[in-house]
Homo-oligomer: A and B are copies of this chain.
Amino acid sequence: MPEHSAFDPLTLPESNATSYPEPYRAANRMRWNRRLSDHANLTNFGVNLTRIVPGGQSSHRHAHSRQDEFIYVLRGDVELETNAGMEHLRAGMCAGFPAGSDNAHRFVNRSAEDVLLLVVGDRTAGDEVSYPDIDMHARMEPGGRYRFMRKDGTSF
């Protein structure tokens, strides 16, 4: 008989690990990820449950060249910063960021309570990530990992 498929995502371990290089790591360690799709053995797309503590951000503001992103706010109040400015999102709202739109985005928790986001992204090869606010750029390598560099291409 196959295993049961359903689970409570809050029972999974969470991690605040980040692949960002210094000096950009500290700002990214106030969000904790649970890898729901990995737990379910999915490979075509990723689903994270992201918990942002007060004062934290989901990531530095960024845009993907080839990958779509979708975010649903499960709990809390969060500010979304994009090229269009700031938007306030409450639980039950969502947002999408199409590949190649160059609409750089991040979620910032300026409230006093934790924020919970469900974050979906695909894994299309050849993706690049641009960071308009900091001197960083990322390129997906064969195998799926991202290599971080300065905007002039030099290594950190």
List residues of A whose CB falls within 8 A of some B CB.
1-10, 36-37, 39-45, 47, 67-68, 70, 72, 80, 82-85, 87, 89, 92-99, 101, 103, 105, 118, 120, 122, 124
Contact = CB atoms under 8 A, between A and B. Distances in A.
Nearest to A86: B4
Contact of A82 (B5, B41, B43, B44): B5
9 contacts: A5-B95, A6-B95, A7-B95, A8-B92, A8-B93, A9-B72, A42-B98, A43-B98, A44-B68
A68 B118 contact: no
Contacts of A2: 82-84, 101, 103
A41 B100 CA distance: 11
Contacts of A42: 68, 70, 96, 98
Contacts of A9: 72, 92-94
A10 B40 CA distance: 28
Nearest to A78: B6
Contact of A5 (B6, B41, B92, B103): B103
A46 to B, nearest CB: 10
A92 B44 contact: no
